[in-house]
Amino acid sequence: MTKGKIEVIEKDSVVVKFAGDCGDGMQLSGTLFSDTSAMSGNDLSTFPDYPAEIRAPHNTVAGVSGYQVHIGKEIHTIGDKCDVLVAMNPASLKANLHVVKMGGTIIVDVDTFVPKAFEKAGCNVNPLEDASLSSYNVIKAPISSAAKQIALDNGLELRDADRSKNMYALGMVAFIFDRDLTLLSNQIAAKFKKNVKISDVNIAVLKAGYIYAESIEAVESRFHIPTAKLEKGRYRNISGNIATAWGLLAASERSGRPLFLGSYPITPATDILVELAKHKSLNARVMQCEDEIAGICSSIGASYAGSMAVTSTSGPGLSLKSEAIGLAVMTELPVVIVDVQRGGPSTGLPTKSEQADLLQVLYGRNGACPCIVVAATSPSDCFESAYMAAKLSMEHMTPTILMTDGYIGQGSELFRIPKVADMPSITPPIAEKNDPNYKPYRRDDKTLARKWAIPGTQGLEHRVGGLEKSDVFGAVSTDPNNHEKMVYFRNEKVQRVADYLPNQEVIGDESGDLLVVSWGGTKGQTYVAVKELQKQGKKVSLAHFKYIMPLPKNTADIFAKFKKIVVCELNDGQFADYLRIVYPKFVYHKYNKIKGIPFTTVELVNAFNQYLKEE
């Protein structure tokens, strides 16, 4: 059918979600769409969502994989509801219908809507034929059959022909959002550069999907998204895990210490290990260990030998590393432990995000065993947070735990690539050879950090280990007074890090009716919700925490200026409980969500309004 003139709608932002079976290529389609949008000048945030099973049952809700993209002028969240949903089968439609805006567009692969698929998805009737989709603009496209025919015509084998259907859907979405086909084609060519035939077929299918959307009456409108106003510089679309790896590489270069990562693969942290393994030219060394304990122990050994040592994991792996973290605290060696949090306990929800590990990070070790704790706030902030975690660890000679989570670790956003030379300096307290005043536990007067004596350096012979050592001299000691003194020093050393942290910022007025407190990867959602209420004239402000242990020195002063404090977390209230311990004179209300998915702006706004109404 030839269609009339299509309405072009200007929107500040739109949300698109690609959803289908695990093998349908939704992650790739979403990545290509978001990268093209970034190249087109849009700000963005993405959220991959996939099942834990490697081969989940075909056509079942449990096996649905998705990739949500929020693009626009100024983006801080993944978006609450979708303007467009691509549903490649009945199961993906059923699993995601609730996230589509009323009046939104749903693109379905009509070829997959067959009785057997309805049964496996738990649908009693064909949703395309009842009234359940009457509130949406539904585009029924022969995605699988059209893509397969094009692939066969271009010489692909039958078993491979169906794999290009995600490109047909991507082509349709590209038309609706006026994406540049040349940019998309170039990305596909780069992705499949080792197989020109596959590349050519995917590009042909992409263009066919674009032409199909252009030619049918069902596409009622196209969207124009204005470009973002960004500071000049070099940008890229980056995930939090990749940004973490880059931040660690930058810290290694700036400090002059070679990077060593000892890790065991674990969802959702594995990409850090994979990315660092690519950069031997930047003096990075990676060892994939047989288990989590070997991972951190190898890193402690590397730190003892003078490397900037790192280990990466998620909640279950952090549990296994706890004894060795105690060894790093006792020996006072710098190690960065990256915890990309997921739902727990035990194996829990491997592919779902949760701020589940805060109390474990703060207290989950035997004895008095303090660590510096930093929590990244967004995918791009993972770069700075990783850099600062390494800086604090090396300069204060103690382990630092960097907390991210599955949402920001695997999600992505625009990142302005900085120059390493512009980053803060990192000056590890390296002991000089033949220093006549060197003693293993002689401390800096300000930081209480001991010197980092690299083995093999002349005149610095020493020993460290898990047994308590005597102050200054480092001999094994069971003296009770000495033990009490060393416990004090190790704890006070971490508390004095607060002298080197920036003051906690408040977004909004310095005083008011309600202070929203959040930490880590929830910043985007709490920021947008607070800004919305501020536009309505309400006296609401936000304090979002990046530095957890120790807390910034002005924290209590901020809390004292607000009538109410509500702490928002994707757990059962761990940060609120921690604040009660540190600053017990304040009353903390809790707003929690433990569903493996981020907050939405709507639910936060409603909750904050309720707190404002209550006496």
Domain residue ranges of the chain, discontinuous segments joined by +: 7-224, 236-422, 512-613
Place of tokens 């995605």: 143
Place of tokens 């010489």: 155
User: Which residues does residue 7 pair with via DSSP β-bridges, in sequence order?
Assistant: 221
Amino acid at 198: I
Question: Is it the case that residue 2 has pLDDT exceeding 50?
Answer: no
Report pLDDT for 332.
Answer: 98
Amino acid at 349: L
Looking at residue 130, the DSSP 8-state letter turns out to be S
Report pLDDT for 420.
Answer: 86
Amino acid at 336: V
Place of tokens 């190898």: 298
Q: What is the pLDDT of residues 53-107, one digit of tens each?
A: 777 788 899 899 999 999 999 999 999 999 999 999 999 999 999 999 999 999 9
Taking alpha carbons only, the member of 585, 563, 440, 569 closest to residue 509 is 563
**How many angstroms separate the CA atoms of 522 and 499, rounded?**
26
Amino acid at 204: A
Looking at residue 282, the DSSP 8-state letter turns out to be G
Which tokens is 400 given?
């630092």
Taking alpha carbons only, the member of 359, 357, 318 closest to residue 335 is 318
Contacts of 419 (CB under 8 A, 6+ apart): none
Angle, helices 165-176 vs 26-39, to 10°: value is 30
**How many angstroms separate the CA atoms of 138 and 216, rounded?**
12
Cβ atoms of 275 and 242 closer than 8 Å = yes
Q: CATH assignment of 236-422? A: 3.40.50.970
Cβ atoms of 262 and 302 closer than 8 Å = yes
Report pLDDT for 352.
Answer: 93
H-state helical runs in 18-130 = 26-39, 90-96, 115-121
Do the bridges between strand 43-49 and strand 7-10 make them parallel or antiparallel, or are there none, so unpaired?
A: unpaired
CATH match for 512-613 among 3.40.50.920, 3.40.50.300, 3.50.50.60, 3.40.640.10? 3.40.50.920
Report pLDDT for 4.
Answer: 56
Q: What is the pLDDT of residues 118-166, one digit of tens each?
A: 989 888 888 888 888 999 999 999 999 999 999 999 988 887 888 899 9
SS3 528: helix
Residue 190 CB coordination number (10 Å)? 9
DSSP string, 566-590: EEEESSSSHHHHHHHHHSTTS--EE
CATH match for 7-224 among 3.50.50.60, 3.40.50.300, 3.40.50.2300, 3.40.920.10? 3.40.920.10
Report pLDDT for 181.
Answer: 95
Q: What is the pLDDT of residues 486-532, one digit of tens each?
A: 999 999 999 999 999 999 999 999 999 999 999 999 999 999 999 99
Question: Is it the case that residue 366 has pLDDT exceeding 50?
Answer: yes
Q: What are phi and psi of 541, to 5 degrees?
A: -135, 165
Looking at residue 407, the DSSP 8-state letter turns out to be H
Which tokens is 66 given?
């998705």
For residues 220-247, give the mean pLDDT.
Answer: 92
Report pLDDT for 555.
Answer: 98
**How many angstroms separate the CA atoms of 271 and 262, rounded?**
13
Question: Is it the case that residue 9 has pLDDT exceeding 90?
Answer: no
Sheet containing 137-141: give its strands across: 137-141, 100-109, 82-87, 13-21, 64-72, 43-49, 412-416, 235-239
Report pLDDT for 3.
Answer: 52
Strands annotated E in 120-234: 137-141, 221-224
Taking alpha carbons only, the member of 11, 414, 2, 413 closest to residue 176 is 11
**How many angstroms separate the CA atoms of 365 and 275, rounded?**
29
pTM: 0.95
**How many angstroms separate the CA atoms of 552 and 573, rounded?**
20
How far is the CA of 293 from the CAs of 146, 244, 579, 606, in angstroms?
51, 21, 31, 44
Question: Is it the case that residue 1 has pLDDT exceeding 70?
Answer: no
Do the bridges between strand 308-313 and strand 335-341 make them parallel or antiparallel, or are there none, so unpaired?
A: parallel
Report pLDDT for 8.
Answer: 86
Cβ atoms of 296 and 311 closer than 8 Å = yes
Same fold, 7-224 and 236-422: no
**Would you give the distance in Å from CA 485 to the centre of its chain?**
39
Report pLDDT for 25.
Answer: 93
